[in-house]
Structure 1
Amino acid sequence: MESPVLEYVSAMLDSERMAHQIAHHRVVEGADARFGEPRRPWPAPLQSALSLLGIEKLYDHQAEAVDYVRAGRHVVVATPTASGKTLTYNLPVMEQILADPESKALYLFPLKALAQDQLKGFNELAALLPLNGREDRRPTAAIYDGDTSPHFRKKIRNAPPNVILSNPEMVHLSMLPHHAGWAEFLSGLTHIVVDEVHTYRGVMGGHMAMVFRRLMRLCRYYGANPTFVFCSATIGNPSELCRMLTGLEVHPILESGAARGGRHMIFVNPDGSPSMAAISLLRAALARGLRTIVYCQSRKMTELISMWAAEKSGEFKGRISAYRAGFLPEERREIEARMADGELLAVISTSALELGIDIGGLDVCIMVGYPGSIMATLQRGGRVGRSQRDSAVALIAQEDALDQYFMRNPDDFFARPPESAMLNPFNPVIMDRHLICAAAELTLRRGEPFLAEPEVARRVEQLVAAGELFEVEPDLPGHPVEIVTHRKRPHRDVDLRGAGSQMHIEDITAQLQSIQNGSSARRENDSGPPRSEPTQGVESFEATKRSGRFQSIRAPVIGTIDQYRAYRETHPGAVYLHRGRTFVIRDLDPATNAVHAEARRVGYYTKPRGSKDTEILEVLGQKASFGTRVYFGRVKVTEMITGYEKRSVRGGKLLGIVPLDLPPQVFETEAIWFEIGHDIRRRCEEEFLHFMGGIHAFEHAAIGMLPLLVMTDRNDLGGISTPLHPQVEGPAVFIYDGMPGGAGLTRQAFERADELIETTLSTIRDCPCELGCPSCVHSPKCGSGNRPIDKRAALFVLEAIRSGDPQSITPKEIDVNTLPGIDTKRPAPKRYGVLDIETRYSADEVGGWNRADRMGVSIACLWDSGEEAMFDYEQDDMDALVAHLRKFDLVIGFNHVKFDYAVLGGLHPFGFRSLPNLDLLVEVNNRLGYRVKLDNIASATLGAGKSADGLQALKWWKEGRLDLITEYCRQDVTVTRDVYLFGREHGYIFFTNKASQKVKLPVEW
């Protein structure tokens, strides 16, 4: 009897309507299981539990993995889905617990649902251990995540189980900053299990590289040296990825010994909508009772197919469900359970179900759009196939360049190895925040293992020099210098999944309606003449924000976005989608990290328009790539969002372009760039081709194809093409990591530049379109609306590069100083003055600090560096004081700009703040984020403090003792001058922090 899967595939191939849309069909043969034996037998209780589970032998990759783990060696198991990776860590961990009941293990999962699955599996195995009445020896486990109640969190901290299942955020926000409360757990930690490690790449990988290093630092502090067990999907560089994440050498296990059934791979290039093709394939699978998973690239498509399931699936209506982010945890767990039990026949999901959540055996996988990587395609396809039964995987192509590339080149898909996962473990933007967290957890000391990596040690020194971290002078000679932070809770400001600080998108619809209703009520009750009400525009919103009642209604947060994407995706006027609702962005406020959105029904969507510029900061590598030079290095990118397009939801017709006036976004990152020779430009133009349109098309196509080489999404990359770059001294095409600091993406692209050129050329050449399309040279996020674009010019440029001789390409120096910079270092003033004043009246006597203009002056003392003399001015001498102040290149004081000038402003009309000023209090406050008194700084820096205080000076004024006030004021000026001179000469001053430590503070005076 023909299997249902084979009958399903045969019907597809024989269908008159469907057959011509099938670009490729291939059967991937199955394989029998391969078994192995661990080098040492398991303890009797563990062997008995395995027998009760029906496991008499381990697969050979499991046996190899447990041997390494039991020997204390770090290991990464990178084998397909459903290959039994769980046993590779549960067995050694349980063996360790049986030998030492006080030992602990930490299991980390990127999703809460994975932790739920693993807790169930751990407890089932533990329950089968025959312990002969010693129940206290049974291994225990608990989940510690955002869903754990405060009561149970405290219980877990105070009496930790043997195994804690958690996620990266909980380690970062709970375990590391409060490590003293976790001392028992950390001191007994023998194993750290990191599941789905391939997800820790890009920006999150950069964060996790520092989280793991901080975790290992605290383990060492408490005397533990845990063994890491990493589990991964099949990727190209599992050992390298784990080494980047931890700095450790990790043994890879890549070949699976698990049995697998045959798999039908079907590539579908639909005539019409990919979602309609998916619905058709899903309907055919349901009719045959095949358990199916449909993967969609977006929430919108997930909802579209789910909507069909709800409306038109007839008898299957109750057996189909959507699954995506945005569902409540209990909703997701219910769907997972119903799928695992067989109650559900199909689930439509985003990438949320790509990872190893247990939803039982499946028969058919339908992917609406290429997932972006070979790895993800294999991972999703690996969810189907029960035991050795046949399964089917259908890949439905969209217009995207990669989708169409594989429709035209299916053999390349099957011949191509999985991509490598990349990250930048020393991204300075990310690393800075984690180093401040590390200093808050435990003071840093030069020479400690945490600072053994040169990149980390160098960055700490740079943070000390910049005043982000501070040196504490040792109490005793010979004691190590400690490096501290003034931040108490820096962890809260670090988002592990973003590079910049997060902005909250707030739904202000209710606030606007409240204001509008209030305005209507006022109009009805107003007996006076009618007043015009503001219209629904940006101007009215500004008026609304200024209203005192705007903040009276709490605005719900409907999403978050990092600052670097906010100006592109949530600029004023942008249409923002959330859970099927459309919002129009009214305002973006970086000062409060808030984006204000109003729910509105609109018939258009928006696309940003803008321009970009790039400056080369450092060349880290160059080489010949066919007939051109290719470089890798650090660049500074300046992005300007100049406006946005409004396009009709139906058909995408351009409805208009709205200009915007937004500040430029500037960040440093890593990039690869291709130099295009002047001879190629000249020959291209002689052929009457649009050279700029050609290199622009080259840029788009290369970015579209880069995910073939590196595990990334095109949205993680940016590009700039220019006909004349001043530092390259000619035309160039730049491709850069789209996050500050870089994520290691273009670093790997540089190594495979030849392959990138060849693949880009074949993609453009083989696309059947005439002028360019989304399948080859158009980009959905182009800031200039894909203009100019010239497909034929791109082919000319790439073919000219491809036919060139690498031997003719000689190294070339790029002058990184070609573009002028801004020297922010202050020159030493030729003549400066140091000012301090004492007042006649206190703040209480004049009605508050805001009325400083009423306080009067008892004496003003001024040091003149030109004459090396002190001058005194009473209240009647203000004209002379102003004349003297105007002679200086710099006026120095301590809180003189805000306070002293406010007092003087009540006595003289001169604009004191127009003077060239250096306020030491402001400088220190800007460095530290809080105020420090002059007496504190002077005592720590000079060993001399103030002789009195302001209250004493006020008392002397009432007593008529101007001589004592003058002496006191002169001494303040002298101390301020000496602190300034010390800081200018040494580049730092000292202060005493709240822990009574003498801390070095870098300054640039």
Structure 2
Amino acid sequence: MSLAEYIESLKKYKVLGPDIVYHRTLPARGACYARESGVTNPVKAVIKRAGIPRLYAHQERAVALIKKGIHTVVATPTASGKSLIYNLPVLESLLENKDSRALYLFPLKALARDQLGTLQKLFDDIAMDVLGKGPFTAAVYDGDLSSHARTRIRNAPPHALLTNPEMLHLAMLAHHRLWEPFFKNLKFVVVDEVHTYRGVMGSHMAWVFRRLRRICRHYGSDPVFVFSSATIDNPRELAADLTGLCVELINESGAPCGEKEILLMGGMAGAAQTAIQLMHAAIHRNLRTIVYTQSRKITELIAMWASQRAGALASRISAYRAGFLPGERRDIEDKLASGELLAVVSTSALELGIDIGNLDLCILVGYPGTIMSTWQRAGRVGRDGGESAMIFVAHEDALDHYFMNNPKDLFDMPPEKAVINPLNPVIMARHLECAAADLALVAGEDILQESGVAPVLDRLERDATLLKSAEGSTWFSARKSPHRRVSLRGTGTTVPIFLSGTRTLLGHVDKLRAFYETHEGAVYIHHGNTHVVNRFDPEKCIVEVTPQVVGYYTRARSVKSTEILEETSHRALGNTRMGFGTLRVTDHVTGYERKAVGTGKSLGIIPLDFPPNTFETQGVWIEIPDEIKAFMESNRYHFMGGIHAMEHAAIGILPLLVMTDRNDLGGISIPFHPQISRGAVFIYDGTPGGIGLSRQAFHHGDLLLKRTLDVIASCKCDNGCPACVHSPKCGSGNRPIDKTAALKILEQMQKGALKGKNRLSPPNKTRGSASGVMERVGNFISSVRKSRTNELHGDFELQKTVVRQSDKFTGEERGLFAEEEKKILKTEGHFRYGVLDLETRRSAKEVGGWHRARDMGVSCVVVYDSHTDIFKEYLQEDIPALVKDLAAYDLVVGFNIIRFDYQVLSGLSHFDFSTLPTLDLLKKVHEKLGYRLSLDRLAKETLGAQKSADGLLALKWWKEGKIRKIIDYCIQDVLVTRDLYRFGRDNDHLLFRNKAGHQVRLPVKW
């Protein structure tokens, strides 16, 4: 049956017909062809053989730019021939020079495999037409290949290599020396579906592309970048931010399109149940259908419920989502393309251009979160130019009901901006470490001139993540392969999900999401089968689940708090103000709630014992003036319920302004925040370091408040619902919530300008301003000096006071603070330290192992005294005197003193050596590097000195009674340890030679 009959029947159907809110027909559009082909005759013949008689106008313009070496982004609708645009210049380049190479980057492995056949056919055709050319080769390089296949490709790179971001990051850049011929001849980098590189992933990719360009420069190539994008508001800006390049834009399509019916439905019977009825009606008419959902869980549920009620057609319905294993996904794609499957229920995983055949009907279960995604999904049907339809079924969500109340906005609203934040310090730091592992970083090179790099580089150096060369001009990565610690699509590592008691892998989940979705007791659905999590180990990063049929689903409960670290901007919003800056957010998952599948009724809350997650990010806060709070309380409105409802509604409506969904954002409502001395609503990026979403919210502050008020006022519910002020991810279960109070607060905010004590105050400049930093550090140092009393003995006590409170300072402040601290210690002349080393009478083997060090006995102990400048000698019978002397020092310095020397001495004295103020140099080295260095290795590089003997020789001398030789050897060790301590104290680093043979600095802070 025809699609027109399906639409007509739907309108007449008594159950669903009245639920249709809006219907619009988008007319068909004819093609606009190019006057000239813009390609050489051999290439022209190949595309004609492929059934393409002429190029569209936009294709010709784009190809011409690329052939001139101009970086180009093509942002046109689905099925407008974007792949041909980047394939044709690659073909012509190969005809000119068979050694040229092209890198094709796809966000999904399935997209790369989907494009392989098309590209290889073009290559084969051109080789047939042009004598003496070819064969030209293309190959997919991804993690699904065997190691043998990957090695074969690496040893003989194809002319076109199709891969994904992870393989570029992990396998190619990290091992670029194995790819030298490929990078040396790289002429084109094709970035398909570039609009997907936004948010966290886009911020990562900005650095992956910078690292790629750096490697290309190293091998003498300068490839042209070609970007393909869905229709977004800022494709040129996004491509430029991702790569640091100037990019030309092609965004007017000459491709034809068929007529498309668009229907909006209210979802009165529930979005999922409505979608199932629509799907059943479609597949019984043999209409090929794709259903898009907003979460993995609802994808599995709809597919499972639809199959259970589909009778003989049950086998022709399938779920599809991220988390499925690669073989499972490819099987579903093939069956959908062949027609074996009639309907697929998918998350955004099938939003992109994977070839799944020609589809007739697209059903959206809920608003996808962006205008861009809405039309991208609509473009997945009717790709052959025939009739198609999209039905948008509203979910219980603020945005869904916004469009039900304002349907024309769906068609008139411009697409959103794709937002990334290359300045995210967390992401930047990880990729600077990877870049240093790719190739040592050299002062003055381009990547180090990027905005925001200097302070991050300084922190990485202080943390010994990067090791500076002895002369100070080069930085090396302390780890050989830091790349695997970087997850491009999340904020951290991914956690595997195993079937309990087996090594059967079901899927993966981002570690931060795991606390909310795969905690112990959580319900996990895979291929329609429910499982219950019986183990979640956040330390070992593992989840185990057991198959179990349950009649409930789970939702995590959490509590949050936030601290303003720095306010960088502020603005007036009617009768209030909005601030923007850096926040420290603490999010603590405290338990989870079980809710009945059918009714959503709560079945109880189960507590969980997790440590809190704390991170710094960017955020905005809307202050609630005292007059508004007083008005609310005097009229007996629920103030906390009002600001909580306002927070939920604002987060729910924010995706209309920024390309994101509410899961990328966090929020918290506080009736009184101590830093601003009044109530506030915070909205922040849910990613450590921030990804630019809240910055966009700040720029659209007026519109955000207006839209928030509109969505609450237009909702027909009485007390609040998911369409206005309830959040599906609220950590407190949407309690307390007061819709009426939220309306009153928002109405009051839009009355007049700020007055009285609510007037705008200057932004907090305690962080970020050089003068503010100096003032704050100076004031603190003065307060420490003044607070010293008779109980504070010597500089060590002053140092401890300083160090205990220095966590109040970060970044630039810490550097200034360290200098001030040095001045204090130099001006106070009473600091007394001792440097200790000892030799034993027995070896570890003789006493039964190193853990029996207390039984080794002492042949001698030597302590250098900084006040007398002499080396004091002690024998075993002098241990009581030694203990008395050690207690007088402000600091005791040693090398492995805590784990060895003190353990040996504890076998000869009841004194608690752990009470001594101790600096163990080896312990500090290990804390920085993660591994240990010998005293001899450090002394040789730092001091040009070395030990005079070793422990085994000292044991031999003990047995021979040569005590003087042992003492002299011990003095030499103490001398070396003392000089290492002094060098580190005065220079803030030691020197050692890393495994690659480079002499590098080890930052220290004694």
TM-score greater than 0.5 by the shorter chain: yes
Q: What is the CA-CA distance between 1:854 and the residue it aligns to? A: 1.3
Q: How does 1:463-862 map to 2 (within 5 A)?
A: 463-474=460-471, 481-507=473-499, 509-510=500-501, 555-805=503-753, 810-814=760-764, 816=766, 822-824=805-807, 830-862=831-863
User: Separation in 1 of the partners of 2:763 and 2:698?
Assistant: 18
Q: Measured at CA, do residues 69 and 733 of structure 1 come closer, stay the same or move farther in structure 2, by a change above 3 Å?
A: same
Q: Report if aligned partners of 2:325, 2:507 keep a CA contact under 8 Å in 1.
A: no
Deviation per residue, 1:447-500 (Å, 9 max, x gap): 1122221323442233113321111125xxxxx822101211211211111112
SS in 2 for 1:25: strand
User: Separation in 1 of the partners of 2:516 and 2:882?
Assistant: 52
Larger mean Cα displacement after TM superposition, 316-325 or 450-459: 316-325
Amino acid at match of 2:848: G
Q: How does 1:192-591 map to 2 (within 5 A)?
A: 192-307=189-304, 310-314=307-311, 316-317=313-314, 319-474=316-471, 481-507=473-499, 509-510=500-501, 555-591=503-539
Q: Measured at CA, do residues 562 and 295 of structure 1 come closer, stay the same or move farther in structure 2, by a change above 3 Å?
A: closer
Q: Report if aligned partners of 1:259, 1:387 keep a CA contact under 8 Å in 2.
A: no
Amino acid at match of 2:806: D
Q: Report if aligned partners of 1:640, 1:663 keep a CA contact under 8 Å in 2.
A: yes
Q: Measured at CA, do residues 816 and 636 of structure 1 come closer, stay the same or move farther in structure 2, by a change above 3 Å?
A: farther
SS in 2 for 1:182: helix
Deviation per residue, 1:484-531 (Å, 9 max, x gap): 012112112111111123344444x43xxxxxxxxxxxxxxxxxxxxx
Q: Report if aligned partners of 2:325, 2:506 keep a CA contact under 8 Å in 1.
A: no
Larger mean Cα displacement after TM superposition, 586-595 or 242-251: 586-595
Q: Report if aligned partners of 2:42, 2:129 keep a CA contact under 8 Å in 1.
A: no
Q: Report if aligned partners of 1:624, 1:809 keep a CA contact under 8 Å in 2.
A: no
Q: Measured at CA, do residues 272 and 116 of structure 1 come closer, stay the same or move farther in structure 2, by a change above 3 Å?
A: same
Query: How many matched pairs?
Result: 953
Q: Report if aligned partners of 2:38, 2:63 keep a CA contact under 8 Å in 1.
A: no
Q: Report if aligned partners of 1:326, 1:579 keep a CA contact under 8 Å in 2.
A: no
Q: What is the CA-CA distance between 1:815 and the residue it aligns to? A: 6.2
Q: Measured at CA, do residues 559 and 871 of structure 1 come closer, stay the same or move farther in structure 2, by a change above 3 Å?
A: farther
Q: What is the CA-CA distance between 1:953 and the residue it aligns to? A: 1.4
Q: Report if aligned partners of 1:616, 1:816 keep a CA contact under 8 Å in 2.
A: no
Q: Is structure 2 residue 918 aligned with structure 1 residue 968?
A: no
Q: Report if aligned partners of 2:470, 2:991 keep a CA contact under 8 Å in 1.
A: no
Q: Report if aligned partners of 2:862, 2:967 keep a CA contact under 8 Å in 1.
A: yes
Deviation per residue, 1:24-50 (Å, 9 max, x gap): 111122221112245x74222111112
Deviation per residue, 1:608-646 (Å, 9 max, x gap): 333211111222221122322112111111122233333
Q: Report if aligned partners of 1:48, 1:130 keep a CA contact under 8 Å in 2.
A: no
Which residue in the other structure is 1:43 paired with? Answer: 40
Q: What is the CA-CA distance between 1:80 and the residue it aligns to? A: 0.9
Q: Report if aligned partners of 1:66, 1:91 keep a CA contact under 8 Å in 2.
A: yes
User: Separation in 2 of the partners of 1:386 and 1:198?
Assistant: 20
Q: How does 1:107-118 map to 2 (within 5 A)?
A: 107-118=104-115
Q: Measured at CA, do residues 12 and 806 of structure 1 come closer, stay the same or move farther in structure 2, by a change above 3 Å?
A: farther
Q: What is the CA-CA distance between 1:386 and the residue it aligns to? A: 4.6
User: Separation in 2 of the partners of 1:742 and 1:304?
Assistant: 33
Task: State the TM-score, normalizing by the size of structure 1.
Answer: 0.91
Q: Report if aligned partners of 2:319, 2:527 keep a CA contact under 8 Å in 1.
A: no
Amino acid at match of 1:23: V
* Aligned equivalent of 1:10, options 8, 22, 27: 8
Long gaps (5+) in structure 1: 475-479, 511-553
Which residue in the other structure is 1:542 paired with? Answer: none
Q: Is structure 2 residue 1000 aligned with structure 1 residue 999?
A: yes
Q: What is the CA-CA distance between 1:943 and the residue it aligns to? A: 2.3
Which residue in the other structure is 2:789 paired with? Answer: none
* Aligned equivalent of 1:180, options 173, 177, 180: 177
Larger mean Cα displacement after TM superposition, 611-620 or 592-601: 592-601
Which residue in the other structure is 1:864 paired with? Answer: 865
User: Separation in 2 of the partners of 1:556 and 1:909?
Assistant: 54
Larger mean Cα displacement after TM superposition, 930-939 or 797-806: 797-806
Which residue in the other structure is 1:525 paired with? Answer: none
Q: Measured at CA, do residues 344 and 561 of structure 1 come closer, stay the same or move farther in structure 2, by a change above 3 Å?
A: closer
SS in 1 for 2:676: coil
SS in 2 for 1:58: coil
Which residue in the other structure is 1:951 paired with? Answer: 952
Amino acid at match of 2:445: E
Amino acid at match of 1:848: G
User: Separation in 2 of the partners of 1:216 and 1:129?
Assistant: 30
Q: Measured at CA, do residues 860 and 587 of structure 1 come closer, stay the same or move farther in structure 2, by a change above 3 Å?
A: farther
Q: What is the CA-CA distance between 1:706 and the residue it aligns to? A: 1.0
Which residue in the other structure is 1:891 paired with? Answer: 892
Q: Measured at CA, do residues 284 and 597 of structure 1 come closer, stay the same or move farther in structure 2, by a change above 3 Å?
A: closer
Which residue in the other structure is 2:154 paired with? Answer: 157
User: Separation in 1 of the partners of 2:130 and 2:346?
Assistant: 46
Q: Measured at CA, do residues 772 and 354 of structure 1 come closer, stay the same or move farther in structure 2, by a change above 3 Å?
A: same
Q: Report if aligned partners of 1:728, 1:814 keep a CA contact under 8 Å in 2.
A: no
Amino acid at match of 2:875: E
* Aligned equivalent of 2:83, options 76, 86, 100: 86
Q: Measured at CA, do residues 450 and 626 of structure 1 come closer, stay the same or move farther in structure 2, by a change above 3 Å?
A: same
SS in 2 for 1:613: strand
Larger mean Cα displacement after TM superposition, 165-174 or 426-435: 426-435
User: Separation in 1 of the partners of 2:44 and 2:503?
Assistant: 57
User: Separation in 2 of the partners of 1:277 and 1:790?
Assistant: 29
Q: What is the CA-CA distance between 1:409 and the residue it aligns to? A: 1.2
Amino acid at match of 1:489: S
Q: What is the CA-CA distance between 1:594 and the residue it aligns to? A: 3.3
Q: Is structure 2 residue 40 aligned with structure 1 residue 57?
A: no
* Aligned equivalent of 2:121, options 121, 124, 139: 124
Amino acid at match of 1:722: I
Deviation per residue, 1:308-331 (Å, 9 max, x gap): 554444564554444334555444
Q: Measured at CA, do residues 654 and 294 of structure 1 come closer, stay the same or move farther in structure 2, by a change above 3 Å?
A: closer
Q: What is the CA-CA distance between 1:777 and the residue it aligns to? A: 0.8
Q: What is the CA-CA distance between 1:375 and the residue it aligns to? A: 0.9
Q: Sequence identity of aligned pairs in percent?
A: 53
User: Separation in 1 of the partners of 2:761 and 2:525?
Assistant: 49
Deviation per residue, 1:45-75 (Å, 9 max, x gap): 1111122223232111111111111111111
Long gaps (5+) in structure 2: 768-775, 781-803, 808-813
User: Separation in 1 of the partners of 2:329 and 2:594?
Assistant: 36
Amino acid at match of 1:159: A
Q: What is the CA-CA distance between 1:387 and the residue it aligns to? A: 4.3
Amino acid at match of 2:512: Y
Task: State the TM-score, normalizing by the size of structure 2.
Answer: 0.91
User: Separation in 1 of the partners of 2:496 and 2:329?
Assistant: 25
